Amino acid sequence: MEKLNIKKNFRILCLLLKIETKNWFQGPMNLILGFGIALYIMVCWLVFKEGDPFLLVSGISVGIIRNGMFIYTRHHNEYRDSGMVNRLNQTSIPNYIRMLASLLFNLITTLGVSIIMFLVGITFFPDQRVLAAKANWAVVFTALTLVWLTSFVMGVFIFTFFKNSVISQMISILIYSTSTYFLGLGFPIDVILNPDYEWFGYILYAWPHRYAINLAQAGFANDTASGSILIIKDLVVNQERTISVNFGFDGKIWLAYLGAFLTIVFYGSLSIIKISNEIRFHRKNQYGLLVITEESSKYVHQIKNAKSINELTNLYKARDEELRKMALKTNQMTRQIRDEIRLLEARKKPKHKE
């Protein structure tokens, strides 16, 4: 029996992944927005600053944010607006299967975007191949993983807490665009983290992706200890120049790891608490129909046993006052009950044999 359940859940997981993939490829904007914009900006910068040690990994990081957070939010908002989320809620598919399918699909597509951007960078820009050979790949891989985890968690957080599709999209666009311009791609990181504007570097600590992206940048430049003081070739003036970037770690790379980890835990915990409360409320209100039915039966019984007009009037007033006090809770419960009735009816329908 247990093996059958595992097999059934695996089939459901594959089906959900197939649906996600079909929907992703049907919308050309998913491909364009998924990595096209970040790839275009990265290539434009590398044409003029081929030897810059931060641009390639910054472009990959922004591509991860775009696909891992923005496309995730956009994709699931479309599901919610089309009623797909409600239809899935009316099935018996376990919640963890649905979350696992979403996470795996997000990981696979984000990994694909990252590989394409990396191959473009090292194929067409020889200086990036030299930098890649000297990079600290242990730091780069862990940092990019943290960038993806931060992006996915932020996507779940935005989708969970902001039910209005327009507002949630605006928030995800704001986070994505500010990360693009202020964390190393739209403007080079040595321009952003300039000693003359140290106050702006402090403000950027509030950005969720700051810590993980700085880790990836320092790892690709293979300078995770000193604060990234590097000599690179500037193709515009065809001469070497020294750039200085102070990420603010003071040679303590664990501070960046800690910052990225705490960011993921903070937004992830809030999302889990919110989702758990919604699931608990959803299950609890299966009893809501029984409670309202019993209350209504009690009221009908009192009406039948009333012996005078005054008694009926008093019953009506008492009931009306009670409903007024519980108006908000009653409306909310009623909506939940309607959803539960649909769910129960869907489960009671006979299943067609395949």
| pLDDT confidence band for 213 (50 / 70 / 90) | very high
Query: How confident is residue 188, by pLDDT bands cut at 50, 70 and 90?
Result: confident
- Asked whether 238 and 50 are in contact (CB, 8 A), the reply is no
Q: Are residues 170 and 56 in the same domain?
A: yes
pLDDT bracket for residue 231 (50, 70, 90): very low
Q: Are residues 261 and 191 in the same domain?
A: yes
Domain span holding position 141: 6-271
Q: How confident is the model at residue 145 (pLDDT cuts 50, 70, 90)?
A: very high
Q: How far is CA 47 from the centre of its chain?
A: 32
* Residue 132 shares a structural domain with residue 184: yes
Q: Based on the domain organization, do 318 and 266 belong to the same domain? A: no
**DSSP character at residue 252:** -
Query: Where among 271, 294, 321 does a domain terminate?
Result: 271
Q: Give how far the C-alpha of residue 131 lies from the chain's centroid of Cα atoms, to the nearest Å.
A: 31
Where residue 189 falls among pLDDT bands split at 50, 70, 90? confident
Residue 50 domain-assigned (yes or no): yes
Residue 337 shares a structural domain with residue 197: no
Q: Are 273 and 279 in contact (CB under 8 A)?
A: no
**Average pLDDT over all residues of the chain:** 79
Q: Residue 168 domain-assigned?
A: yes
For residue 210, tell me if it sits in a domain.
yes
For residue 139, is it within any domain? yes
Please report the DSSP string for 124-180 in residue order. Answer: H-HHHHHHHHHS-HHHHHHHHHHHHHHHHHHHHHHHHH---HHHHHHHHHHHHHHHH
Q: What share of the chain is helix, strand, coil (3-state, %, to 5)?
A: 80, 5, 20
Alpha-carbon distance of 311 to 92, in angstroms, equals: 47
- Give pLDDT, residue 226: 47
Please name the residue that has the structure tokens 């009926």: 312
Dump pLDDT digits (tens) for 37-96. Answer: 889 899 999 998 888 889 999 999 999 999 999 888 988 888 888 777 777 766 677 878
Here the tokens at position 45 are 């910068």
What is residue 232's predicted lDDT score, i.e. its pLDDT?
Answer: 45
